[in-house]
Amino acid sequence: MDNSSYSNHQQQQFQHQVQEVSYAGHDNNVGSVSGSTSTSAANGSYNYSQVFSAFPPSNNLYGYGPSNYQSSNYGYLQQGNDSYAQNTGIYPGSAAPYQSVSSFQNRSSYTELASYPGASTYYNGGAYQASTYPPASVYSGPTGAWNNQSYNSYGSYPSYGGYSAPNSSSNLNAVSAQSQYQQECQQWADYYASLEPKVQSATVTSSAPGTEPDIPSAVSLCTSTPTYASVVAQGTSNNFYSAVNQPPPPGTQPSWQVPAPSHFETASQHLSSTTGTINNGSQWDTALMQLPVNDSYGQSSEHFQQVQNNNSLQQEQQDPLPSSQQDTHVTHIPEPSPSDHQKPLKFHSSVQQFTSLEASKQRMSKLQIPTNPRITQNLGVVISNGPKGALPDSSKPQKPAYISIRGKSSINKVSSDDIADATLQPGMFPPSLRAYVERALALCKDDAQKAVCQDYLKEIITQASCDGSLFSKDWDIEPLYALSSMLAKGISKQVAASVKLDSVSTRRVKSRWEPVGEKLEDIKDSIDADSSKTEVLEGSKGQEFAVSPKKWEKQETTWINQQQHHITSTKPSKRGGQKIKKPDPGTGGVGTSSESDTDLDQGGFHLGSLLTTETPEEKRKRQTRTKRFERSKEYSGPKGSTKPKLQGNASSRRASAIRLVMSVGDVNGQAVEDINWDSLTIRGTCQEIEKRYLRLTSAPDPSTVRPEDVLRKALAMVQSTPKNYLYKCEQLKSIRQDLTVQRIRNEFTVQVYETHARMALEAGDLAEYNQCQAQLKGLYSEGISGSYNEFTAYSLLYMVFQNVNNRDLLSSMARLSHAARQDEAVRHALAVRSAVATGNYTSFFRLYRTAPKMSSFLMDLHVERMRFEAVKCMSRSYRPTLPLSFMARTLGFSSLSLVNGLDEKESDGLEDCEEWLKTHGAQVVYESSTNELMLETKMSAATLFMPEPEDVVPHGDANLAVNDFLTRS
Amino acid sequence: MWAREREEREREMALDRRDSVSSAPWRGNAAGSLFFAAAEASRKLAEYVNSVIEALSTQNGRTLASLLAISSPNSFCELVASALELAKEPIKILKQVDKHAPLGDMLSNHTKCMHSYHQRRYVEAFNALEKSANMFLQEFRSWESAWAMEALHTIVYELRTLAQMADREMVANGKIPDKLKGAGSFLMKVFGALAGKGPKRVGALYVTCQLFKVYFKLGTVHLCRSVIRSIETARVFDFEEFPARDRVTYMYYTGRLEVFNDNFMGAEKKLMYALRHCHSSKRTNVRMILKYLVPVKLSLGTLPKEWLLQKYNLREYLNVVRALRRGDIKLLRHALHANEDGFLRSGVYLVLEKLEQQVYRRLMKKIHIIQKLKDPARAHQIKMEVIVKALSWLDISMDVEEVECIMAILIHKNYIKGYFSHKSKVVVLSKQDPFPKLNGRANIL
């Protein structure tokens, strides 16, 4: 359980790291990339900052994480690596390499892909987990510093030292990522090896053999990083700053683009100086960076798109870029085919493969990239490091999985996009072009339009760059007319996606405890990416390196085939996109979780991308297939397999479902009812044990939903926590919500409801108790075992005290089995019922004293009324007086202090009894002869009354009054 | 007619030829018998349709009702079902009804229902009957007189019974039964069509009773209230004008409702009405009424003769009554325990349970009588220890405090007149009428 979930987290983190790295690379190193990267980084950071603001207490969140994680970034990385290794084993060779690639370049894209449900979820999960995870704590330091630094630096270049620290961490991460990559890619190894020698040689080499070795390398990187960081800081800080301030920073870009190259060089130099490996790493980074940048651009919102445009332009110009690798990338890019991955290529070829993979990824994952805003920010901060290591700890460790997941499909795609972007990056856009882009985007009314517009702009820009008019053209007078038609064209495609995204985004914003924003953005991006994919490709056509759309499609299909091949085990889930988890028997014991995750994600992603082009028939087929799998899934579901495999898919599932709804209407004429909502059942990925309860107002988000194993921990925590009932109640409600959302109905569910029912009884919270009781009734009737008799007794008592009509009471009594009637609690309840029915107060209060389990809390409800009836009865039947001592004993006043001994009990009971009698209008007189207080019955009979309850509160317990609640929140 | 038959015959032959490869014996026995069977079926169906038409045209409600009956032993169900299977184009035949009343679709649904019922596919049958009933009701509304009331009642009855069967079938197939609920809502519609002023109101009580049956079966007794209000508040129509059959049923169910509400006086009134108007030859009905009337009477202080219980096979009450006569708490508890399930199911358990206090009262009365025999002057003072001892003879072990409580309750609820002295542990009975009569008094507070 833990491992699996952990692995996911790690993967997510890893991805984050990767992204960060890539960004970092851009910022710091990538002179060539500089323009595009910087913008992307800026965007990323920008978003991120928002995210952060929404998600302020990163430290706290981190604090939640396990102590293990906290130990160090290194540890994190290692873990990530481990999971990776496991994954690799499972994964097909191609997948592994892909993952690595993705990790390098595409993280952002991964997370954001809407079509790629898994990715978005992952991303969220990653963010979440990161926050929750111990590594996060470690991370928190760096991130916080990082954020501060980055922001600060932007404002003024002050503290680079701090920056360097983050960088180091990022470096470590990067290293780990690489190592992971290597491990995963063992199959890859072939090409990778070829690649590594060149690119990563120094840095990676150490890591390559095993994950552990990575650490030292990471350290070295760290050490080296400071300088690097400083360089980056200077270069990036400017860039970032501008970017941050101006999402579409037309004016700023030029300036920073210029500096960037120099920085890059310096950075590379630094790296080289520090270590041979570093140089390689930097190159890697640049390459990687370029790729990620592209992804982010494509996926991210308008800003991103602008960036893309910029990138494309830059890419064209880039050719002269500092790193030869980029060139190679470009050249190779046109040929990215899935098959390539598997073949061991030369370094260049490998790069190409990567790029191609990444491109494919990007396509698919573009959307996801936006989700990573945090990451991107992190990346920006971390960027200093090589491609992988740069990511902040928290994000990195978790992300690896994601990366790996995408590995296959995403890699291919990503590479193309990335490449294109990368090529563009080196060059700079004229400010007029930026202004033009801004104007164009300003016309867009919504995200869908923006996405279309971005694609179109990209096309224009690539065109311009192709025919060399990029700088010669007067962008200020360039007409925007084409955009309107483009928009009209593109919108229809994207409507569904955008709608969904919007809804998601709004929802996201609402949720408190999540690292909000990211997901939504991711999803949006992913959707955009989907729609814009082809367009982007077309746009890139003109360029030498660009792949023709046809080629792309081919690739995609081939890729799909490949994927299917790879994923046979996970196929069902994949197919379904929306489909949930499948039992994963095929994955095998090792690292199944991460593996399956990746597979699933890929599948989901894939599906999402494919969906748009699918014929209705195919859709229908897929739906039926999905259903078929669901059954098995559901079957396995209740067992609560702890593996979070499919967690990531929920968002994608949702997306696909929505798309289905939207598209089906026109295409198939299918009604909404035809959608198989069962397939939308999610599997949570959240690893936080503690979670606040918020009533859901939209579809649940897997990254905020905890899987069963975590819920078990949460229950144990609630049971042992010393905190008050309000806290427990909230926690239990959130547990119940997660259970409901995941449709978990088993013994554990019963346990949760029973626990909550007992606690509610204890606290007098009848409303909650009633809810739990109602649920328990249903659960028991399904044959799930639990404390059936105990709660039967409670429900009987509750009915008696709530004056339920006779018929209901009778029917529930008639339903009691013979065995149940032998149960102590049930017998007690029946006796109480009888006592109440006959008004036998003596037996009632005796039963009150001997009530088993929580029954006495329920009886509390009736004590007041019973006492009043009893006193009424006494005052009518006894003459002339009745000693209070007798009454106190009979009416249960002494029961509380019974334990302390007779004397105390009597006196205590007497006082309470007298007090009670007086407030109810009884006449108490002092009998001097016996030295006793007596009830004057005849007089009392006329004056007895039932006072208005003073301290009535909705939840039934005055102790839980508003003040308590307010102080708590 | 003849022409059509010939036509059918030719079609039949063509069919045969096509089906059998060796088309040789198409005039053979099989084909011939088939042909004749089909012709016979068509004839029978036409006959059936003709009688329906006749009933419609003569406004003979009784005949129509018997023609539409499904579950009654001498219904046309089997005939129609078999004819439907064999006849060619049965719809055409059934449509002939439309000449007289637009009931062709209704009849085709109705015969479909008969067919399904005959094959024991009750869910299908119910669905068809529901359609048929809706169409019939629509037509019934347009008829000014209430001549077809009997037919409507038949349909209502068949719908309800079929719904129960359909529900059973659904449960057996693991589905959630909802047909009876559907029948209930249809009956409400019928009730709405009848409950207004006019000649059709006579039939409203029958539907009401059918509704009661549905609601009691479904456990949604609270839905009865609106119907009851509509029946009891209408001044236009005297309750006595309803048929006795419906009045008895109605009073029986409303009496049961009063039992649930602990309104024993009202329950007694209604159940007594039902008992008095129930034909004495309907022993099962009398027994059903007595099943509720006896506990109600008991709680009001009237004990039945044992022969009555014997006669109507109400043995479960024998020991209860004996316990009341003897003041034997133990016997009462035993009797309650022995028949607990039955009492719980019929809903009288809670009523009988409260008889315990009467048994205590009886016990006190006996002690009082004995004391009076011994020492009339002090007979009104009953010491606690005496009561405890008496209880222990009955194998009931209670301590003084508990007995004290029970005495206090007896006094409080006016089972006994007097007071209790805690100091001296004595129940002091009133010298005048210490055990007031329970009869005619709501003694259960």
Distance CA A607, CA A564 (A): 11
- Contacts by residues B247-250 (CB-CB < 8 Å, ≥ 24 positions apart): B247/B205, B247/B273, B247/B274, B247/B277, B248/B273, B248/B274, B248/B277, B248/B278, B248/B285, B248/B289, B249/B209, B249/B212, B249/B274, B250/B205, B250/B208, B250/B209, B250/B212
Which range (A49-53, A749-753, B139-143, B275-279) has the least confidence?
Answer: A49-53
Chain A interface includes B401 (CB < 8 A): yes
Q: Please report whether residue B290 resides in a domain.
A: no
Q: Please report whether residue B338 resides in a domain.
A: no
Per DSSP bridges, beta strands B426-429 and B381-383 are antiparallel
CATH (domain of B417): 1.10.10.10
Chain A interface includes B216 (CB < 8 A): no
Q: Please report whether residue B89 resides in a domain.
A: yes
Residues B364 and B233 in one domain: no
Q: Which residue of A has its CA nearest to B346?
A: A810
Q: How many domains does chain B have?
A: 2
Hey, what amino acid is at B136?
F
A472-526 tens-digit pLDDT:
666 666 666 555 555 554 444 444 344 444 443 333 333 344 343 344 444 444 4
Cβ–Cβ below 8 Å for B350 and A810: yes
Distance CA A890, CA A845 (A): 7
Distance CA A3, CA A707 (A): 13
A-interface mutation test, from B263, B332, B357, B405, most A Cβ less than 10 A away: B405
Strand partners, A811: none
CATH (domain of B203): 1.25.40
Residues B227 and B368 in one domain: no
Chain A interface includes B387 (CB < 8 A): no
Higher pLDDT, B199 or A863: A863
Region A532-546 average pLDDT: 41
Site of tokens 């198409």: B26
Residues of A in contact with B221 (CB under 8 A): 807
A→B interface, C-beta within 8 Å: 805-807, 809-811, 813-814, 834, 837-843, 872-874, 876-883, 886, 890
Q: Please report whether residue B265 resides in a domain.
A: no
Distance CA A296, CA A309 (A): 12
Buried b (16+ CB within 10 A) or exposed e, A208-229: beebebbbebbbbbbbbbbbbb
Contact between A329 and A419 under an 8 Å Cβ cutoff? The reply is yes
pLDDT number for residue A278: 36
Q: Is the pLDDT of residue A67 over 70?
A: no
pLDDT number for residue A249: 40
Cβ–Cβ below 8 Å for B354 and A882: no
pLDDT number for residue B395: 84
C-alpha distances in Å from residue A184, one per residue of A190, A413, A424: 12, 19, 30
pLDDT in tens, chain B (445 residues): 455 555 555 554 444 433 433 434 444 455 566 677 777 778 888 888 888 888 888 888 888 888 888 887 777 777 777 777 777 677 777 777 776 667 778 888 888 888 888 888 888 889 988 888 888 888 888 887 878 888 888 889 989 998 988 988 888 887 878 888 888 888 988 888 887 777 778 888 898 899 999 998 888 888 888 888 888 776 666 778 788 888 899 999 999 988 888 888 888 889 999 998 988 888 888 999 999 999 998 888 888 888 888 888 888 898 899 888 888 888 998 898 888 888 888 888 888 888 888 889 888 888 888 888 888 888 888 888 888 888 888 888 888 888 888 888 888 888 888 888 888 888 888 888 888 877 655 444 3
Give the residue from B237, B257, B279 where a domain finishes: B237
Distance CA A836, CA A843 (A): 9
Give the residue from B211, B237, B263 where a domain finishes: B237
Residues of B in contact with A840 (CB under 8 A): 402, 405-406, 409
Site of tokens 């002494």: A894
What the block records as the tokens of A865 is: 């009324």
Residues B221 and B369 in one domain: no
The count of other CB atoms within 10 Å of the CB of residue B314 is 18
Q: Is the pLDDT of residue A102 over 60?
A: no
Q: Please report whether residue B4 resides in a domain.
A: no
Cβ–Cβ below 8 Å for B345 and A873: no
**SS3 category, B52:** helix
**ipTM of predicted assembly, 2 dp:** 0.77
Q: Is the pLDDT of residue A826 over 70?
A: yes
pLDDT number for residue A328: 34
Distance CA A868, CA B81 (A): 68
Cα Dmax for chain B:
114
Could you tell me the pLDDT band of residue A142, with boundaries at 50, 70 and 90? Answer: very low
CA atoms within 13 A on the CB side of B245: 7
- Select the residue of B350, B402, B404 nearest A806 (Cβ to Cβ): B350
Q: Is the pLDDT of residue A86 over 60?
A: no
- Select the residue of B345, B402, B421 nearest A879 (Cβ to Cβ): B421
- Report for A351-365, A475-489, A730-744, B20-34: range of highest mean pLDDT: A730-744
pLDDT number for residue B168: 87
**SS3 category, A882:** strand
pLDDT number for residue A646: 40
Residues of A in contact with B357 (CB under 8 A): 838
- Report for A40-44, A177-181, A243-247: range of highest mean pLDDT: A177-181
- Contacts by residues A819-827 (CB-CB < 8 Å, ≥ 24 positions apart): A820/A788, A820/A789, A820/A792, A823/A789, A823/A790, A823/A792, A823/A793, A824/A852, A825/A789, A825/A790, A825/A792, A825/A793, A825/A794, A825/A852, A825/A853, A825/A855, A826/A789, A826/A792, A826/A793, A826/A796
A546-590 tens-digit pLDDT:
344 444 444 444 444 444 444 333 333 334 333 333 333 433 333
Q: Is the pLDDT of residue A130 over 70?
A: no
Site of tokens 């500089």: A34
Q: Please report whether residue B116 resides in a domain.
A: yes
Q: Is the pLDDT of residue A370 over 60?
A: no
Q: Which residue of B has its CA nearest to A935?
A: B422
Q: Which domain holds residue B172?
A: 32-237
Residues B222 and B369 in one domain: no
Give the residue from B237, B252, B285 where a domain finishes: B237
Q: Which residue of A has its CA nearest to B419?
A: A877
**Chain centre distance of CA A637:** 20
Site of tokens 């003569």: B58
Q: Is the pLDDT of residue A235 over 60?
A: no
Site of tokens 């949570």: A684
> How many CB pairs below 8 Å do chains A and B form together?
77
Of B144, B189, B439, nearest in space to B301 by CA: B439
Q: Please report whether residue B2 resides in a domain.
A: no
Q: Please report whether residue B141 resides in a domain.
A: yes
Higher pLDDT, A89 or B360: B360
Chain A interface includes B218 (CB < 8 A): no
What is the overall mean pLDDT for chain A?
53
